[in-house]
Structures are given as C-alpha cells and as structure tokens.
Chain A
C-alpha cells in the first residue's frame, strides 16, 4: 500500500495518535455516562482523561448537558466519524475522508498537513540530513541518502563523568553500607585532643610533632568537660604527664580515627557500626608516593562480647573490597589498639600487599569516652586501593589536574 502513502497529505499528531488508541474524549464520556448514569463534574474529572475537551465537544454536538453540577447524557450517537477518519488517515486511506472532517480534525489539532512544496525539489537528489517531514510523507523513498564511511574517525565528543577516584570511594562506601556500617563525618580542622589525646597518644609522641601534623595556631574549645578530665587522668596515671595546652591546639585532622573517637564519645546505644571515608592531612615531601592530603577509610564496631576473632572476621570480609578472597594477618602496633593487626591481601600479579591496620581499642581509649564494651577498629589504605584499581603509580593523579587523562580514563 505504499503508493497510497506516497500521496498522503496529512498525518496524525501525537494527540491524534493517542485518541485513536484510547478513543475520543467525548466518546469516552458518553460511554461512561451510559454505564454509570449522570455524574458530578468533580467525580468525572477523576474518571475521564481530558474531561474539559470531552465536555467541549460533547456539548457542541448536543450529546450532554450540565444540570446542577451534574453531567447528564442526552443522546448516544451511532458513531464518531472523527475517530473513523483518524483510522483511515493512519492507514493511508485519506482520500476516503470528507473535506469537512479533515477541517474538523485540523481544527482539533489531531492531524497535520504535510508541506510538500520543497520536498518536490528534492526528488532524485542526494541529501545528507534525513528530515522528519521526509519520513512522515514517505517522500524519503524519492531521495538518495548520502553514504557515510563508517571508518572515518568522528570529531571528539567528551561525555560528562564522575571522577574515577570518587567512583572507587563510592564502591567502597556501598560495600560497607551493605555490611551495616553507617557513615560518619567530622571537622577537617580538629582539636588535637580528639586527634591524639583521646586516642592515648602521649603528649610527646613522635607522630605529634610538627613534621607529622599541621598546626593551625589557635586553641579549640572542648565541650565535653567530663571526657577531658577522664583523658587527663589516664594520661597522668599511665604516661606520667599530660600537656593540656598541646591537647587544646587546633590542627588539621591527621587520621580519621579522630572521627571514631568523637563518635564513641557521642554513642548512646549499642551496637554501633560506623565508618568514615574522609580527607586527612600530614606534612610530607611531595612526590609520586607522598602527598600532604589523602583519603582514609576507617570503621569501628562496638558491642558486648566482641573479641579478636570477630576483628579478624570483619577484616576478612573487608578484604573483599580489594577483590581478594585470601587474607593474612600480622601482629602490629598502634598506640590506641591492643591487640593490633596488619592485614595483607593477595592481589593478582602483585602477590601479598599490605591493605590496612586494625585492632581492639585499648581500655585507656574507651573508658574515658564512657564506653564499657570492646570496640573493634580498622582502617584501609584507600589510596593504595585506588591506585591499584585506577592502574596508576603516581599518587598525585588522585587529585589530577590533567583533563586529557580524566577524559580518557
């Protein structure tokens, strides 16, 4: 039947297509009234799609009237010629449709006239762009469509993308959330107290000196007076001294364990499972392996009756982030945990690599914070993980300023 289509002058608009499918609005209204009797406008509005259009045409055709806010059916016509006309036009039999009906359909914006004039000029010619009108009219059969070579490289197009490092961080987060960990946040500028003292690091610990922590030159205000006193006591009894002034100093957070300490201090209900992935700062020489900022991933689990085997259990689970089923543990040392563990995972081609540190918080850490149950704590080498996954060997690429690299990554 393509020859009919060829001569077509009209085609259905979106609205036309819709009514052809679900029926004209006035038809649907009449059928509804016939079935349910007179009905209030408010109700009809909910039941009948495009009620205002339906009322407009049904009243115009004298099919319904409105009495006391109710729509009343006056008569039911034998047929709805517009609907029949739409079907014919759709099927390419527009010659069977009367001019009057065409006019009504155009008026109701159910059909559109195809503009033929310029199409005629294209007959037999080669075109590069296939227009919407060429397709609607079927005239595309009368033109040649220019051939493109599939093997010519296209002009560059760059899609928007999430940073690959952010993507990896998101994957890790999703994994931890699936294990029941809730994400916590803390301030980038931290009070030394939360970063070190609350973690039982002695005032003169080497990792607290200016070459390991950035100082901000001001003192913070401690709100938790009771915890402050508790920490003071534990330092004075176990280390023999405590530098309160140092504890008050503001610094840039040097590890996310500061967030864990704050969370434990806030903790009201057990069990607790918390993680943090956030920026930390350490003075260092800036080269391919070191930068002064990086992300850390830390987590804690606090509950009654937790033990060392449970710590290893979580580590074995977390090792999956590295894509490793095998995991190995080694004794280690952190000032705030005992026992302390280092975790190694097996990575294809690289073998065993250090993946993170963990331990059970010392009572010297938990008691001053008011926590009376074991707290398992672990941390991951997130930078290492990201560099592995992104296949880079320069840590500075994590905060890369190379757009070409980002676009290609």
Chain B
C-alpha cells in the first residue's frame, strides 16, 4: 500500500517533554509508549528526541500535545481545558482572499527559551503540513500588551505601511512582498487580490497574514500575554488549528480567553466544543472482532482522551476539541484498538473461499519467458520511462506521439516507452566488454496513445529480443518468432518490411490476421554506431496480446 503520506519528523527537547509529562521515563520507556501510537521514535539523545509523526494526529505535532497523548496512554490524569471570556471583540471586514479568521488570547505566560522554541516549531510544522504552506491556514502570535484599542481584520491597499518583524523602517505591503524573504516565499498567496489582509489596532497594522507579523507586537522573553490570529481559506480548519494552539498553551498552564469576532455575523472563538458521537453497542465487536466490556471500553478510550457514556443500546463518545482527525466512529474504533495494543489481538484467518488465478497476460508472459530461456536468452528488466533520444533518434525512427510527463526529474526519463527494442540496444551498449554472443530479451508493457481509451492511452504487453554475435542470426530470430506464435496459439506470416532501424532487405514484418504485430531483422549498422555496439545484432519485437478482447 502506498505510504502516500508525508511523515513529518519533529525534534522535541527531551527535558521539556518529560517535564510536561510530569514523570521520569527511561529512553526505552519513552520509545515503547511513543511507538504504540502511530508515531515512531527515530532517535533519542541526552537532550533531544526525534520522532516521526503521522499526518492525521496534528495534535501531536506540538511538544505539549505530544506529552498530553503520552500522559493519557500512561493513565495519568489530564488537565481540564477551560475557556474564559476576554470581553475583547475583533471587528472583521470582508477579505475575499483570506476570508476566515479565529482568534484567542493567552494570559499568564511564563516565557522562556524552551517555550519560544517550541512555539516556533509548532508554527512551522503546522504551516508546512496541514496549513499547506500557509495557503489554507497561517498563524500569527503577538504580544497582546502591545496592542492598543480596538482590533480590526480588514483588507487594505498594497501601499499601506508598517514595520514588519525584523525590520527597522516602515515598509509598504508591496515592498514587504518584494523585499523580504517571507514576502517572496508566500506573496503569491495574495498578490492577485485587490485588498490584502491585515490586523490593525489604533496604531496601525500589527499583522500581515499570511506573510509577516509586526516588529511592534513581536514576542519577546518579557511577553506575558499573547494574541493569537489564525487566518485561512478553510472555515473549519482555522478553528481547528486554533484549538491545537489552545491545547499547547493550556498544557503550559496558561489561561485561555475567547474573543468575539464581529463581522456580518457574530462568532466566538475558540470554538471549544466536544463533538459527540453515537455508536451502536456491538459496533466495536463488529469492526475489531473482539468483545470488549463496557468498563474496558471506558478505560481504554479514556486513555486516548475520550469521555464515554453508556446508554441503553448505544455508546456516547465525546471527542476532545483538539482531535481534529476524528471524523466518525471508525476513528474511535481505531483508537480503541491502539489503546488495547495491536499486538494483543489474536490474528485470525477468515474462511473466505475464492479461487486464485494469475492474470492471462502474465501467464502468457511466463510461457514466452520459458521459450526464450530455452533458446539461451538472458532476461532483462528496464524502466518504462525513457526519452525521445533513445526511443527515436538513435534508432533512426521518426518521432511518434508518446505519453510525456510534465514534471520529469531527469532528462533520461521524460516519457513512457512505445517500444522495447531501444532499451535492449542500450543494454547491449553498456555491456560491450562482456563476452559474446549476448542473447537478451525483455517482456514488458509499453504505453501507446489511444484517443478511444478513458486514459487516452493503453498498456501493450510486448516481447523484444536481441542476439549480438558475429554471423547472421536472421533465420534464427525468425524461427523464434514462429515458436512464440505457437505458444501464443496464433497464426503468423511474414512480409518484407522497410524499417529504418534495420538493414534494408534484412527485415520482416510479423503479421497476424492482416495486422502488423511485430517485426524482426538485422539492426542497421548506423544504429549500431549510434549505440557504439560494434557487432552484428539481430532482433525481434512483437506484441503478446494481439487479441486482447478474446
């Protein structure tokens, strides 16, 4: 199965992590607990612990959230997170390029280097992963005590000015995009809009999301209270990400205060609500194949941070607001299995009776392999990606339509091959020091453009072979074509053929039911020169599924 996932690797300060957990743990103990989640410990040193996380558990991306998950699984009591009211209002105007915001205020912060570092790390990983490089979500943290008067979120002209973080002089917003590192990196997210998003107070702009904060409200070691702005293009996600940050600060013992957001409608953020899921009593047994007692379910789910209530015929599970990965009851079932321990389940092979079968094209390919090995040929396997130099020019063939890739990583691999023989020629060219005769073959798929197919192309299974040896192997190769046809159970005939890759007068077309299915002959010496193969080569290429729909 595809890994299909970017697995973010995060480094946490070990002492910080253990302090947050509130318990001394040996390295082995840390590793065991961490690995019983989806995450993996990559390395533990005296100072640091490097872990590989999975993209779903965003709440574990921060050291505080990570510690909370561990505490839960270890059965340590978790803090209740409460939201207080700040009585602060953010006046929100319509900013189409970045329409959604969520804000909160954090009080009583005991700022230190570790905290500053963990806040920076958290912002960076949230921006890069779920924030999709700040496109969907961007976070700004500000010294709340430096903000004066009413707070506005609005769209302004690109000529408005402020002193961006790390600068000494005022700059216009357009200059921020043109001249600062962050501006160059993220400017494309807003550059086409008429009005650009900013947070302002009485003194002017203090945040320019998703690009830069201001020098005026920057976080320092003296910061006591923080204003959080989360902005983005995804209404739910901005709120979810705010919850992840709330989790972090409250695990640090800070007081969290909510903010009224007054736009066309009134909202209150953070939206700290426990989602409630109703689950049938027998659901976990059905999915996991094991009976769990109610007390067991309650205990195991508690360790994953859930609250559980049992009603007559259903289970009510309350999902913590920071568990933004939980969609439905199946996610709870997985967490139940994780808390129970995957290796504590007894594997069972079900009685699902089916008859196994190899695919017909693979069966026929295997038979042709057998024939060619019998003729003394060595099989080779080559990449399906190639380039037009090899496919056409070196073979003296006119360039044909092929499937080309828009984002190749190397000049050698820019398109899918439409025939196999060029790869055999290249193989021979790489092995001119090896003793002759060299007899090689490949069986593989080529991809031919075809407008009638839903993918505008089709796979064609082919065989190609080459004999590099002094002497003429024209007749032998023809003989092999007959043998292959016999195995394919098809009638073939031959016709003289002009093909630029072959010597004129030493090439034949292979015909089945009036259709060309291949060709063979002695390779044109000019082709041999192109590949620097200085020995005669006889070769053949033919389709293995000439009647695909029969």
Contacts and interface: CB of A to CB of B under 8 A. Distances in A.
B136 interface: yes
Given A327-B347, A338-B330, 15 more contacts: A156-B435, A163-B379, A170-B366, A180-B354, A185-B361, A187-B459, A222-B454, A292-B383, A312-B348, A330-B38, A330-B342, A331-B38, A334-B4, A341-B342, A407-B434
Interface string B359-373: 101100010010011
Contacts of B377: 160
B535 interface: no
Given A309-B347, A338-B331, A399-B383, A252 B378 contact: no
Contacts of A379: 1-2
Contact of B381 (A241, A306, A357, A399): A399
B455 A187 contact: yes
B349 A166 contact: no
Which of B290, B342, B403 has the most C-beta atoms of chain A within 10 angstroms of its own C-beta? B342
Given A158-B378, A339-B337, A309 B288 contact: yes
Contacts of B132: 204, 206
A286 interface: yes
Interface string B388-404: 00000000000000011
A338 B336 CA distance: 12
Interface of A: 156, 158-163, 165-166, 170, 173, 176-185, 187-191, 201, 204, 206-207, 210-211, 214-218, 220-223, 238, 240-241, 250, 252, 254-257, 271-273, 279-281, 283-286, 291-293, 296, 298, 301, 303, 305-310, 312-317, 327-341, 356-360, 362-364, 374, 377-379, 398-404, 406-407
B25 interface: no
Contacts of B36: 330-331
Contacts of B129: 206
B325 to A, nearest CB: 9
Nearest to A311: B347
A286 B503 CA distance: 37
Interface stretch (B168-176, B185-193, B438-446): B438-446
11 contacts: A163-B378, A181-B354, A187-B459, A189-B455, A210-B406, A252-B416, A284-B409, A291-B383, A329-B343, A331-B338, A339-B333
Nearest to A181: B356
B413 interface: yes
A356 B1 contact: yes
Interface stretch (B12-20, B251-259, B423-431): B423-431
B144 interface: no
A312 B381 CA distance: 34
Interface string B402-427: 01111111100100100000000011
Given A182-B357, A402-B431, A292 B2 contact: no
Contacts of B54: 332-333
Contact of A308 (B136, B287, B416): B287
Interface in B200-248: 234-236
B352 A303 contact: yes
B149 interface: no
Given A177-B358, A183-B358, A254-B2, A283 B409 contact: yes
A363 B330 contact: yes
**How many of chain B's residues touch chain A, expressed as a range?**
35 or more
A402 B426 CA distance: 11
Contacts of A399: 381-383
A328 B36 CA distance: 11
Contacts of A339: 287, 330, 333-334, 337-338
A409 to B, nearest CB: 10
B378 A406 contact: yes
Contacts, number: 299
Contact of B38 (A181, A303, A332, A407): A332
A403 B409 contact: no
Interface in B81-112: none
Contacts of A336: 4
Given A401-B430, A407-B378, A313 B348 contact: yes
B125 interface: no
A330 B1 CA distance: 15
Given A160-B372, A160-B377, A189-B455, A357 B405 contact: no
Nearest to A201: B4
B348 A310 contact: yes
A224 B171 CA distance: 54
B471 interface: no
Contact of B378 (A161, A240, A241, A364): A161
A400 B423 CA distance: 12
Contacts of A364: 327
B356 A176 contact: yes
B99 to A, nearest CB: 13
Nearest to A308: B288
B385 A316 contact: no
A166 B379 contact: yes
A404 B432 CA distance: 11
B534 to A, nearest CB: 16
Contacts of B369: 162, 166
Contacts of B410: 286, 292
Interface string B509-529: 000000000000000000000
Nearest to A377: B1
Contact of B2 (A165, A257, A402): A257
B339 to A, nearest CB: 10
B289 A309 contact: yes
Nearest to A275: B356
B346 interface: yes
A204 B361 CA distance: 36
A240 B235 contact: yes
Contacts of B355: 180, 182
A310 B435 contact: no
Contacts of A180: 352-356
Contacts of B416: 188-189, 252
Contacts of A191: 454-455
Contacts of A317: 349
Contact of A358 (B1, B353, B406): B1
A395 B447 CA distance: 24
Given A160-B373, A215-B407, A307-B286, A404 B434 contact: yes
B381 A165 contact: yes
Contacts of B37: 331
Nearest to B130: A206
Nearest to A303: B352
B331 A271 contact: no
A201 to B, nearest CB: 7
Contact of B456 (A250, A337, A357, A401): A250
Contacts of A250: 455-457
B407 A210 contact: yes
B536 to A, nearest CB: 17
Contact of B406 (A181, A216, A220, A256): A216
Nearest to A249: B406
A210 B175 CA distance: 30
A176 B327 CA distance: 34
Interface in B288-318: 288-290
B357 A328 contact: no
Contacts of A291: 383
B330 A285 contact: no
B80 interface: no
